[in-house]
Structures are given as C-alpha cells and as structure tokens.
Structure 1
Amino acid sequence: MRYILMSHVDDSALNAMAPEAFQATMGRFVSFTQALAESGVLRGAEQLQPADTATTVRNRQGEALLTDGPYAELAESFGGFWIVEAPVLDTVLKYAADCPAADFGSVEVRSLAELG
C-alpha cells in the first residue's frame, strides 16, 4: 500500500528560530528523507515553497476566482510530502513520528487511491 505523509508546519515557529536552529532543523528533514530512502520505502518527496507564494483557485458561477495565499487561514501550512510504500499502516505511522514536522506542526498520513 502506498501512503502520503504530508508535512504541516507552523511557519511562525520556523521564522522564530535562530539561524543555527533553523539550519539544524532543515538538516533533520534531509536526514529523515535519506532514512526513508535507505529503508527502501520512499517513492517520492518534495518540499513546497512557503504558503505565502500560493495562489488558490476557486470556480464560482462559471468564473475562476484567484486568491493570493494558501487555501485556508491556519497557523500550520502544508510544507511538503513524502510518498512511501509499506505493507501496514503502523509502519508508516512510525516513520511519520520520526518526521521533524511532528515536533512543531503535524504529519498527516493518508493511503493513496490506486487509479486505473
């Protein structure tokens, strides 16, 4: 079964970090991703640009409405994701608990639908 681990981070917590702490945290994300790859479960991963670079599109009454910013006003924003493959959810939940985002935000885990 394939799963997506979605990193939701508190941007204000990241922005409040001293430069050294920020670099150490980013290093932890790299190490986390490397550990997933080395374990053989990683199928893909991407980091997103900050939420304030987003544009949200909504279709209303036949018109596309564009809004600068993320889809919702939240303290935590979607920062990136990892796609992993593992036979059981419990294994993936253990990986998610190791993700640095769980320390100052959250990691949402969902199974991926098989299309086709």
Structure 2
Amino acid sequence: MQYSLLVISREATVEDIGEEAMQWGRAAFDAYAKSLDSAGVLVSADILQPVAVSTTVSVRDGELQVQDGPFADTKERLNGTFVIEVADLDAAISWAGQCPGAQYGAVEVRPSAIVFHDHEWHPVA
C-alpha cells in the first residue's frame, strides 16, 4: 500500500531559526530519506521550495485562473512529501513518527487511492 507522508510546518529561513538548526534539519532529513531508501519503502521524496514561489492554478467557468502564492493563507505549509510503500497504516505511522518534521510540525499520513504505473491508472486495493 502506498502512503504519502505530508510534512506540514511553519516555513523557516536561516534568519528565523539560525544556521545550527538549519544544518540539523538538512542532516536529519537526509538521514531519514536514506533510512526509508535502505529499508526499501521509499517511492519518492520532495522538499518543496518556499510557498512564496508557488503558483495556484484553477479553472472556473471555463476560464484558467492563475494566482501567485498558495490557495489558502495559513501559518503552516506543506513543506515536503515522502511517498512510501509499506504493508499497512501501522507501518506508515511508524515511519511518519520517525520523520524529523514531526518534531516541530506534523506529518499527515494519507493512503493513495489510485496510482499511475505502467502507463495506466490503477485503483489501490
């Protein structure tokens, strides 16, 4: 079963938290991704750029609408994702609990409903 681990926290810059904390975060996420990979459960991982460089796209009444920035104005942001393939929700929760982002934000665990592979969409059983 595939699960997305959605890392949600406040965005922080070096100026906000200091170089030492930033170095800790880089090292912690590197070690976490490598542990997922060595366990054979990592499908993909992305640490996202700041929300200030995001663009939100929607179509309303047939018209393309493009908005600079995020759809919602919140303090917490989606800052990264890890897609893992594990046996069950308990395993996904265990991995989410080991994510460095869980120490200062939250990690939402969401199962995949449909996955795209072999050039087709497949429902997840």
Q: Give the TM-score normalised by structure 1.
A: 0.91
Task: Please say if 1:35 is aligned against 2:35.
Answer: yes
SS of the counterpart of 1:16?
helix
Counterparts of 1:15 and 1:51 in 2: how far apart (Å)? 17
In structure 1, the partner of 2:58 is 58
Spell out, residue by residue over 1:22-80, the C-alpha distance to the aligned partner (whole angstroms, 9 max, x if none). 11112101111111111111111111111111011121222112111112111111111
Q: What residue in structure 2 maps to residue 104 of structure 1?
A: 104
Matched residue of 2:59: which SS?
strand
User: Cα–Cα, structure 1 residues 79 and 15, in superposed 2: closer, same or farther, change >3 Å?
Assistant: farther
Pairs within 5 Å for 1:1-116: 1-12=1-12, 16-114=16-114, 115-116=121-122
Q: Is the 8 A contact 1:7 1:108 kept in 2?
A: yes
| Cα distance between partner residues in 1 of 2:15 and 2:98 | 22
More helix by share: 1
Greater than 2 Å deviation, 4+ residue runs: 12-15
SS of residue matched to 1:49 = coil
Whether the 8 Å contact between 1:11 and 1:76 is mirrored in structure 2 is yes
**So what's the TM-score if we normalise by structure 2?**
0.85
Quickly say closer, same or farther: Cα 1:15–1:90, change in 2 above 3 A.
farther
What per-residue deviation string (whole Å, max 9, x for no partner) do you get for residues 75-97 of structure 1? 11111111111111111101101
Q: Distance in 1 between matches of 2:40 and 2:32?
A: 13
RMSD between superposed Cα atoms in Å: 1.6
What's the CA shift for 1:102? 1.1
SS at match of 2:73: coil
Provide the secondary structure at the position in 1 that maps to 2:113.
coil
Aligned length: 116
SS at structure 2 position matched to 1:43: strand
1:59 match: secondary structure: strand
- Identity among equivalent positions (%) equals 34
